[in-house]
Structure 1
């Protein structure tokens, strides 16, 4: 994989570069009216939605945490809570998520967050050589090996995604 292009720099790409991790940036023209940023990325980039992962902030026992799941499904809140040793989780307040990460909704990356949070990556990611996650802004995805994402975010992996109805 190639390294980042300087013109695409974000805290996420800076974190990957600093760690010496290979990655590829995939910029695309974001449509603000798209109903799902992740599905939009998969479609525009011509990628299987199962390889494109969305970063969701949750609240678990009063603490913020991160769930990273395929855009083709949804986050199982009970499963993410269990993966973090808790009984239940809820979606985080959007403003709290933005303050914690330093990113805007639709562009939250699991990498390079202002204040890192406990992270759970859906175990389906491990079935791919590379996956796509937000690069830190709408219209920018990063392709990275799941093992590198786990290492850099100190994530645990668990079955936290569920198919959309």
Structure 2
């Protein structure tokens, strides 16, 4: 069975992306995993699965710098919905195949809209993220990330 990590590696290799993998102890908090990776907290791509408060069909994977807080009004505006809220941990795992904290900043589902705060990719030459597992991270060139993931760029932070 192909894991999400394997899919990420294959995608990045196929696209000739500049990236590296770091194996580390399982860590769920942005600040702690940044220290383990040797990256700045703001370099971490925090992935938060959100959904519409009005219908459970609209899903948004909001990606923001690891040291910032999500503004749900901005998520709703970017996604074209009235109100956004966080998906439950169970919904996030069902929709992404990952536990909270391990969701990478890529959408492999046509039903999940990928929206990235531009501050993440404009402030750092590389982004860091958990690659489908809490104990494995990737450091990826920011330009390559935007080229490959093709996210909608929209301000999402408080």
TM interval, short-chain normalised: 0.7 to 0.9
Aligned mate of 2:118, from 120, 123, 132: 123
Equivalent of 1:148, from 127, 144, 149? 144
1:45 and 2:37 matched: yes
Unaligned stretches of 5+ residues in structure 2:
none
Q: Specify which of 28, 52, 55 is matched with residue 24 of structure 2.
A: 28
What corresponds to 1:100 in structure 2?
Answer: 95
Total equivalences in the alignment: 149
SS in 2 for 1:78: helix
How far 1:23 sits from its partner (Å)? 0.9
5+ residue gaps, structure 1: 1-8
Could you tell me how far 1:87 is from its partner in structure 2? 2.5
For 1:120-153, what per-residue CA distance to the aligned partner results, in whole angstroms no more than 9, with x for missing partners? 1111122211111221100222111223222333
The 1-side partners of 2:74 and 2:130 are apart by: 22
**Given the two structures, how large is their TM-score scaled by the length of structure 1?**
0.80
What is the Cα deviation at residue 112 of structure 1? 6.3
Aligned to 1:80: 75
Matched, 1:58 2:54: no
Structure 1 ranges of 4+ moved more than 3 A:
none
Candidates 128, 132, 135, aligned match of 2:131 = 135
2-side partners of 1:158 and 1:144: how far apart?
A: 20
Pair 1:15-2:20 in alignment: no
Checking the alignment, whether the CA contact within 8 Å between 1:11 and 1:111 is kept in structure 2 is no
Q: For 2:48, what is the secondary structure of its paired residue?
A: strand
